[in-house]
Amino acid sequence: MSGIAKNEARAVKNSQVEMTEVVLPQYANVLGTVFGGQIMSWIDICAAVSAQRHSRCPVVTASFDSVHFIEPIKQGQVVILKGQVNAVFKTSMEVGVIVFAESPFTGERRKAVRAYCTFVALDAHGSPRGIPDLIIESEEEKRRHLEATERRRIRLLNRKLEVKHAYKNG
CA angle 60, 15, 41 (to 5 degrees): 45
Dist CA 120 CA 34 (whole Å):
28
Q: Is 128 helix (H, G, I), strand (E, B) or coil?
A: strand
Integer CA distances (angstroms), 10 to 27, 53, 121, 134, in order: 36, 9, 15, 5
Counted residue by residue, the chain has a size of: 170
Sign of CA dihedral 69, 73, 19, 100: negative
Task: Single out the residue of 13, 119, 14 nearest to residue 61, CA to CA.
Answer: 119
* Contact between residue 65 and residue 43 where contact means Cβ atoms under 8 Å apart: no
Confidence of residue 6 (pLDDT cuts 50, 70, 90): very low
pLDDT exceeds 70 at position 161:
yes
61 phi and psi angles, rounded to 5 deg: -70, 125
Q: Which residues of 72-89 are buried (b: 16+ CB within 10 A; e: fewer)?
A: ebebebbbbbebbbbbbb
Task: Single out the residue of 99, 101, 94, 134 nearest to residue 116, CA to CA.
Answer: 94
Instruction: Name all domains of the chain by residue range, CATH numbers in brackets.
Output: 7-169 (3.10.129.10)
pLDDT digits (tens, 9 = 90+) for 114-150: 999 999 999 999 999 999 999 999 999 999 999 999 9
Tell me, what's the pLDDT at 167?
A: 64
Higher pLDDT, 168 or 11: 11
Q: What is the 8-class DSSP label of residue 33?
A: B
User: Radius of gyration of the chain from Cα atoms?
Assistant: 18
Tell me, what's the pLDDT at 65?
A: 87
Mean pLDDT of the chain: 93
